[in-house]
Amino acid sequence: MRATRLLCNRVDLARLSAIEYPRGGRYSIAPDVVAASCGPVDSGALFAKRQPEEIQTVALDTPSRTAAALTRILCSQK
């Protein structure tokens, strides 16, 4: 995992999930480096075959900790 390798000083720079920074690792944000969008992105889309109040389980891609964290927040507000 990139976050672990960066935290253990096995690599000097890594592209990490945005959720890693507030988790309190000893990270510095690289200046003048960004991946951004001027418009909407679909990476945060959730799809369901049930009504929101009927949802019991959620499947997520494991590489995206940010998506997992945001999904937990959204689901906790239902």
Which whole-number Å values give the CA distances from 71 to 11, 38, 53, in the listed order? 29, 23, 15
The single residue listed with the structure tokens 């988790």 is 23
Does 42 have pLDDT greater than 70? no
Q: What percent of the chain has pLDDT over 90?
A: 0
Contact at 8 Å (CB) between 5 and 14? yes
pTM: 0.45
| CA 3 centroid distance within chain | 12
* Averaged pLDDT score across all residues of the chain: 75
Residues 28, 31, 44, 53, CA torsion sign: positive
